[in-house]
Amino acid sequence: MHTRYDFSNRWGIVTGAASGIGKATALLLAASQAGLALVDRDASGLAAVVRACEGKGTTAPLAIEADVSRRSDVQHMVAATGERFGRIDFLVTSAGVLFRTPFTEIPMAEWDALMDTNVRGLFMCNQLVVRAMLEQGGGTIVNVASVAGRSISLIGGVHYCASKHAVIGITRHMARELCTRGIRANAFCPGATHTPMIHDNMDAEAIKGLEKRIALGRLAEPEEHARVIAFMLSDAASYLNGACLDANGGSVML
């Protein structure tokens, strides 16, 4: 049996909630009695996750269709969550995009599109949520980075790798600047995982090759990462601040 934390009387936001790690985190937090605002630009996928979360917890989740690269959408996300729940106790930023274009062939439009979501969007989500958290006296943030932010990316291009290094840098700076004001911020660095992002970009043979580069010999399941994120949000991690917690199956060892 896996540990399940008690998030009753805690309310927060999960971006990228329609699939992958964000979806798994949403389902686990809902089952742990958290009040959730679930955010994604995929309206149909988001609706399916909201239905799956309903009945797991005591509070029906709030669905917010939003593109985190648009400031107006992020402003709406924060305002709607505050209006629904009265406060924002936690934020999980799981929204992200990946492209595999080789270094010399990346067009600037593609670079900008990736950075707009993975860096600019993450920054805006953090900045606007932190403003709300400071007004209420604190909160907890987990920014989903990647093993790519600790080393290189085995899947994405250089722009993906650069964006995840940026996520870690943003998180560490936030942690140092905000910890005395009641806010803990940490980065989570997952390795290759069975998510649509992987399966949309790699065929079965390529995934088998990737598994050979992981010490555990397999990709992670999203639910395994959700359990780590829940721990990072929980009071059990009360002294965890400015950390980069890795869950990569030992891929950096090979």
Task: Judge contact between 37 and 77, C-beta under 8 A.
Answer: yes
Judged against a pLDDT cut of 90, whether residue 206 lies above it is answered with: no
Interval 59-76 mean pLDDT: 97
pLDDT band at 1 (very low <50, low <70, confident <90, very high): very low
65-69, 95-99, 151-155, 222-226: segment of lowest average pLDDT: 151-155
Which residue has better confidence, 243 or 201?
243
pLDDT band at 8 (very low <50, low <70, confident <90, very high): very high
Judged against a pLDDT cut of 80, whether residue 2 lies above it is answered with: no
Task: Judge contact between 35 and 113, C-beta under 8 A.
Answer: no
pTM over 0.85: yes
Helix intervals (H) in the chain: 20-31, 43-53, 71-85, 108-115, 122-136, 158-178, 196-199, 204-211, 222-233
Query: Domain 11-245 adopts which CATH fold?
Result: Rossmann fold (3.40.50)
Q: Are strands 11-15 and 35-40 parallel, antiparallel or unpaired?
A: parallel
Please report the pLDDT score of residue 56 as a whole number: 86
pLDDT band at 4 (very low <50, low <70, confident <90, very high): confident
State the catalytic residue, choosing from 160, 185, 190, 228.
160
Cα 183–chain centre separation? 17
pLDDT band at 252 (very low <50, low <70, confident <90, very high): low
CA dist., res. 217 & res. 210, Å (int) = 9
Q: Are strands 62-65 and 183-190 parallel, antiparallel or unpaired?
A: unpaired
Judged against a pLDDT cut of 70, whether residue 238 lies above it is answered with: yes
Strands (DSSP E) contained in 145-213 are 183-190
* Rg for the chain, CA atoms, rounded: 17
Interval 197-216 mean pLDDT: 86
Encode pLDDT of 98-134 as tens digits.
999 999 999 999 999 999 999 999 999 999 999 999 9
Please say if 160 is a catalytic residue. yes
Residue tagged 């209420």 (tokens): 136
Q: Calculate the average pLDDT of the chain.
A: 94
Q: Where are the domains of the chain?
A: 11-245
Judged against a pLDDT cut of 70, whether residue 65 lies above it is answered with: yes
Q: Helix and strand tally (H, E) in the chain?
A: 9, 7
Cα 1–chain centre separation? 24
Q: Give percent above pLDDT 90 in the chain.
A: 81
Please give the structure tokens belonging to residue 157.
Answer: 């291009």
